[in-house]
Amino acid sequence: MKKRVMLLLLLAAILLSAAAVWAQESAGSIKKLKVVPSWETLGKVYLMWEQIEDTFYYKVYRDGKVIGRARDPFYVDQKAAAGAKAVYKVVATKGGKDGASSAEIPVKLPETIDLPREKIEFRGDDIYVNGEKYIVCGIGYAPYRPHTSPNKPYPRDYEIIEKDFQLMKKIGFNTIRNWSGRDLDEYMMELAHKYGLLIIQGMSIWVPPMADFSDKSFWDNSMTTVEDEMKINREHGNIIGYLLMNEPPPGKIAQASLAKTNEFYDLITAKIKELQPGAYVSLANWPRADMLSTKNWDFICINHYGYDKSHVVNMGYRGYLGWMERILAKDKPLIGTEYGYSMSKRGEGKFGYGGNTEEEQAIGIVNDTYAMIAEKGNGACIFSWIDEWWKNNEGEGDEDRHEETEPEEWFGIVAMPDDKNLAGVPRQAAVAMEKFYEALIISPRDANKVQGTIPVEVYTKTSLFPNLAKVEYSIDGSNWVELSNTANWWRAEMDTTSLNDGKYDLKVRYTTKAGKETVASQPLALYVVNNEKISQQELVISTDKAVYKNGDTVILTIKYSENSKPAVNKAVSYAVTQIGTITASCRNLAGAELLTNNQGIVKASYVVKDEDRPHFLTISAAVPSEQVVGQKFATRIVVEVNQVQK
């Protein structure tokens, strides 16, 4: 016993001695203490400062008294008096010994807030902010520079983060989409608000490797996460809505059952709405999990990459989005929450998964943004702002290497070529989007057939609007017509009956108050068909059962009609895809193009085989679109296989 006591005393003496040495070596000043009163909340003050190595914690003083401690060089004072004067100081501490100290910073707290809560409303399938229709010009943002990751605590460089937000605003982005509560702290959320950036806020919910959506501990941990993160989230007035999760693994859904997974999401959705009444909730879904129920979600979100064709097979990129608009997002906003292209050395290139040139990345992103807007008009969020070295978190030190063969690390529209320039270097995609966002043609939709009088709607970016004198549109570059203006919106009615049937380029130009004329981005394709009847199409897929087991034969029936009548002798393609046998596997199994019979029906069958685990079969059907030239009109359903209810 005595030996143990003596060892403990010796250890304490060593620690005290080390702390004394540290205190002496770290004596001096803590640099760059910044004290910022909240723009959103009275009586809240943010403090941030330069990190001191080997500090156990920092003591934060207000008016000479300790008000709290912080492990990281960041602190939020929630109890300051509005309108009062205060003096702040920070002292580094280790082993009971004080080390470096900051200068004392006086501050006068505001009596009124500068950034009131935005009035965000979903009206049917449109988003309104402060009474004006809103288009999401979004960017996926996580602040993890070289040598940092979500799993590695680090001091944040708020000066660089502020420069990010300044550049985003200049380009024309108005929305940040993130993935978890770890991505943006309280100050960053307010800083984004200061620069006019709204947030689609991700929740930190992930399915552990050994769990699925039926696991009780996963449910409990998810509920705790939501409760903790909503304490902060609900205080901020620039959040459009919440994303419950990113890309739920279809294998985990199959293991738990579709019903159990839907039950989990309904519970979490209800909890968020309980904690913040009126909050809007969704999920950053992807085509491999679109079998989930959307009935309790306020808006529909989809991660939709142009290179990943296996999951949409015969539907096509825009055909899939069109199906989402008609079926999943009927009367709800539809937002693309991820799309983009990687510039890694490995990959097939020209819009594939990796291997794209800088120019190809820019072209692909612009094209996909057009597609996202053309199929709904609510907007989309590019993936991503910067190259993230830490992806896919493949082992210790992954965040220290920018691996040329890892596509996930090269999606940024701002390059991070080394760890010297942490602000990064904007790529051609950033320049292209700055031009693209100058004036977005929201209506009519690209490549659509039109008749009679149609609305023309143009959305101009906020940073450009104060300098605009007028916005005009033209057919094929002649006879420019001025649009009327309300805030960021410019509108007119266009009579197409004076035009011959055929393809036209709809162009937009704007004139600044200084008299400078600029033609905005690339033209939109318009197909005038006043002498043609545009057929109203309908595709319906049905199967003989909803749940199958290995060895069963799936009997599928596809019924195609035009203008509510059977479409006879028309080619219909179908495809059967297996999803969810492993965490995110997707395998095309069968498909063909068949002609409809005299009832407008195609019949086919598929034998379930080679897989005993629970999974899903996606069955899709497509025909050439009568409304959108060069695109597909498509639909799909999902059936369960080898499902065991839990």
Topology of domain 133-426 in CATH is TIM Barrel (3.20.20)
Residue 462 has pLDDT above 90, yes or no: no
- C-alpha–C-alpha distance, residues 362 and 345, integer Å: 16
Q: Starting at the edge strand that comes first in sequence, how are the strands of the sheet with 571-579 ordered?
A: 547-548, 632-641, 615-624, 571-579, 586-595
Q: Which two tokens stand for residue 437?
A: 């966002």
Is residue 274 a contact partner of residue 207, using CB atoms and an 8 Å limit? no
Is residue 528 a contact partner of residue 496, using CB atoms and an 8 Å limit? yes
Residue 588's pLDDT is what?
A: 77
Residue 342's pLDDT is what?
A: 97
**Hey, what amino acid is at 588?**
N
Residue 21 has pLDDT above 80, yes or no: no
Q: Which helix (H) or strand (E) holds 100?
A: strand 97-102
What is the CATH number that goes with domain 537-641?
2.60.40.1930
The half-sphere exposure of 453 on its side-chain side, counting CA atoms within 13 A, is: 2
| Residues 255-312: tens digit of each pLDDT | 999 999 999 999 999 999 999 999 999 999 999 999 999 999 999 999 999 998 877 8
Query: Is the pTM higher than 0.75?
Result: yes
Task: Tell me whether the omega of the peptide bond preceding residue 392 falls within 30 degrees of 0, making it cis.
Answer: yes
Q: What share of the chain is helix, strand, coil (3-state, %, to 5)?
A: 20, 35, 40
| Residues 536-594: tens digit of each pLDDT | 999 999 999 989 998 999 999 999 999 999 999 999 999 999 887 654 567 778 899 99
pLDDT > 90: percent of the chain:
80
Whether the domain at 133-426 and the domain at 537-641 fall into the same CATH topology: no
Mean pLDDT of 82-91: 96
Residue 22's pLDDT is what?
A: 41
| Residues 119-150: tens digit of each pLDDT | 999 999 999 999 999 999 999 999 999 999 98
- C-alpha–C-alpha distance, residues 371 and 318, integer Å: 6
Which of 3-7, 155-159, 368-372, 476-480 is least confident? Answer: 3-7
| Residues 335-356: tens digit of each pLDDT | 999 999 999 999 988 999 999 9
- C-alpha–C-alpha distance, residues 375 and 391, integer Å: 31
Confidence of residue 18 (pLDDT cuts 50, 70, 90): very low
Mean pLDDT of 594-622: 92
Which of 24-38, 86-100, 115-129 is least confident? Answer: 24-38
Residue 450's pLDDT is what?
A: 97
Query: Domain 452-528 has what CATH class?
Result: mainly beta
Confidence of residue 32 (pLDDT cuts 50, 70, 90): confident
Domain range list for the chain: 2-108, 133-426, 452-528, 537-641
Residue 15 has pLDDT above 50, yes or no: no
Backbone angles phi, psi at 327, to 5 degrees: -105, -60
| Residues 497-535: tens digit of each pLDDT | 999 999 999 999 999 999 999 988 778 999 999 999 999
Task: Tell me whether the omega of the peptide bond preceding residue 102 falls within 30 degrees of 0, making it cis.
Answer: no
Backbone angles phi, psi at 491, to 5 degrees: -135, 150
Helix 158-171 vs helix 186-194: angle between axes, to the nearest 10 degrees?
Answer: 30
Residue 56 has pLDDT above 70, yes or no: yes
Residue 396's pLDDT is what?
A: 82
Confidence of residue 646 (pLDDT cuts 50, 70, 90): low
| Residues 145-204: tens digit of each pLDDT | 999 998 887 788 999 999 999 999 999 999 999 999 889 999 999 999 999 999 999 999
Residue 89 has pLDDT above 90, yes or no: yes
Task: Tell me whether the omega of the peptide bond preceding residue 523 falls within 30 degrees of 0, making it cis.
Answer: no
Mean pLDDT of 85-102: 92
The half-sphere exposure of 382 on its side-chain side, counting CA atoms within 13 A, is: 34
Give 447: exposed, middle or buried? Use CB within 10 Å, 0-12, 13-18, 19+. buried
Q: Does domain 2-108 have CATH number 2.60.40.10?
A: yes
SS3 289: helix
Looking up tokens 């609305």 gives: 455
Neighbouring C-beta atoms of residue 395, cutoff 10 Å = 7
Q: What is the mean pLDDT of the chain?
A: 91
Helix 428-436 vs helix 358-374: angle between axes, to the nearest 10 degrees?
Answer: 30
Is pLDDT larger for residue 466 or for residue 271? 271
Dihedral of CA atoms 446, 447, 448, 449 in degrees, nearest 10, equals 140
Confidence of residue 48 (pLDDT cuts 50, 70, 90): very high
SS3 293: coil
SS3 366: helix
- C-alpha–C-alpha distance, residues 261 and 265, integer Å: 6
